[in-house]
Amino acid sequence: MIDLRVLRDNAELAREAQRRRGAPPELVDEILRADESRRSAIAAFERLRAEQKELGRQVASVSGTDKEQLLVRVREVAGQVKSAEATQAARKDDFAAVMRQLPNLASPEAPAGGEDDFVVLEHVGQPRDFAAEGFEPLDHLELGRRLQLFDVERGAKVSGARFYYLTGDGAMLELALVQLALQRAQAAGFRPMIPPALVKPRAMDGTGYLGQAAADVYYLPDDDLYLVGTSEVPLAAYHSDEILDADTLPRRYAGFSPCYRKEAGSYGKDTRGIFRVHWFDKVELFSYTTVEESYAEHQRLLQWEKDWLTDLELPFRVIDVAAGDLGLSAVRKFDCEAWIPAQGKYRELTSTSNCTEFQARRLGIRGRFEDGIRPLATLNGTACAMTRTIVAVLENHQQPDGSVSVPEVLRPYFGGRKTLDAA
């Protein structure tokens, strides 16, 4: 069951954190009230249940008129137990329902404010000066057309807007990125995983995606299954309802899966090319550790992402996402945004979140420590989201003749080729 001691002890802190992310602080009070009535209902039920049990023992050991008399009393208690049990169950449900609405508490270190209040932590690499090189950069769609790397027209014909086919070297480029990302992740201690992309409601809700992000999620009503928007979901649910021994921590996984997103509310945004699509493939990093360790682990995930983008020779910046833009589950989030020349902007390529105990509580993921059993912390981070990485690689590594130079680290996957050229 959910441990509320921290929330009780830090009710003021919790209210403050709620305010910071724009959620109603009354929710904290509501939760504490629901918790109280749940507790008293449970206590009442347990008292009656104990009495019933004791009477039952007596019934079993007597016979004749004594038994008949006892049974009268025992039936009465049984009735009370039944209603107390129902009350208790209802109070538990009430509590669980109100508890689910509570977002994770934003870290005090996260910048205050909303979507636009992020803080830029650093810039890595220099955007190319195309003017100095004497040519105007093409956007990824134009490059993709010339090199026949993907086909958005036929994607739309077959599946609708925001779908695409990766073709030829484009398909090979994705597989190269997958292969390299998984290899590097494995070398860094992450166990490669290919998880299911359809999950039950529990997994989706437990990771926090049925809250404010629910509109973005594909659902199959006939089967009561959701299409995941990231393999974070099956990787988090992997250890649901398990107790992991402390000496097996941290557990690190790298999942490769398709990701499905409705992109509701983004009509008209990023409609060109494959920058924003309803489906893409992604390698995702995921860690289970302790809350105390989670902050250092978060930095490690960020460092992994920075090294990856650096090795792909992409210029990028790192931002510290503001409290109001964290989503339900994260206490802190860092995004790496790569420079996209044709847009003249930095755009999100990777994102890493520390969810502390939020997902672990909802999914029943606990650790066994010397001083007892506690929820773990979960963290996730993008290793490589294929379409956006392809966009960034194409645009940043394009050459005046419309070809694209292959980053050094990817060349082994192209038989040593140094460029992608028109067929």
Question: Which residues belong to the active site?
Answer: 261, 276, 348, 351, 388
**SS3 state of residue 71:** helix
322 versus 365: smaller Cβ distance to RNA = 365
**Sequence-distant (≥ 6) Cβ neighbours of residue 244 within 8 angstroms:** 251, 288, 365, 366, 367, 368, 376
Instruction: Strand 345-354: give its sheet, edge to edge.
Output: 119-124, 316-320, 332-340, 345-354, 377-385, 279-289, 251-260, 191-193
Q: How far is the CB of 366 from RNA (least distance, A)?
A: 6
Question: Which of 134, 122, 29 has its CA nearest to residue 337?
Answer: 122
57 versus 269: smaller Cβ distance to RNA = 57
Query: What angle separates helix 169-187 from helix 291-311, to the nearest 10 degrees?
Result: 140
23 versus 199: smaller Cβ distance to RNA = 199
Measured CA to CA, the distance from residue 404 to residue 395 in angstroms comes to 8
14 versus 81: smaller Cβ distance to RNA = 81
53 versus 157: smaller Cβ distance to RNA = 53
Instruction: Note the residues at the interface with RNA (CB under 7 A).
Output: 1-3, 46, 49-50, 52-53, 55-57, 59-61, 71, 74-75, 77-78, 81-82, 89, 243, 366, 368, 373
Q: How far is the CB of 256 from RNA (least distance, A)?
A: 16
Q: How far is the CB of 39 from RNA (least distance, A)?
A: 7
Measured CA to CA, the distance from residue 139 to residue 175 in angstroms comes to 22
Residue 232: its H or E element: helix 232-237
**Backbone phi, then psi, for 301, in 5-degree steps?**
-60, -45
Query: What angle separates helix 65-100 from helix 26-61, to the nearest 10 degrees?
Result: 160
Measured CA to CA, the distance from residue 351 to residue 284 in angstroms comes to 10
Q: How far is the CB of 116 from RNA (least distance, A)?
A: 40
Q: How far is the CB of 97 from RNA (least distance, A)?
A: 16
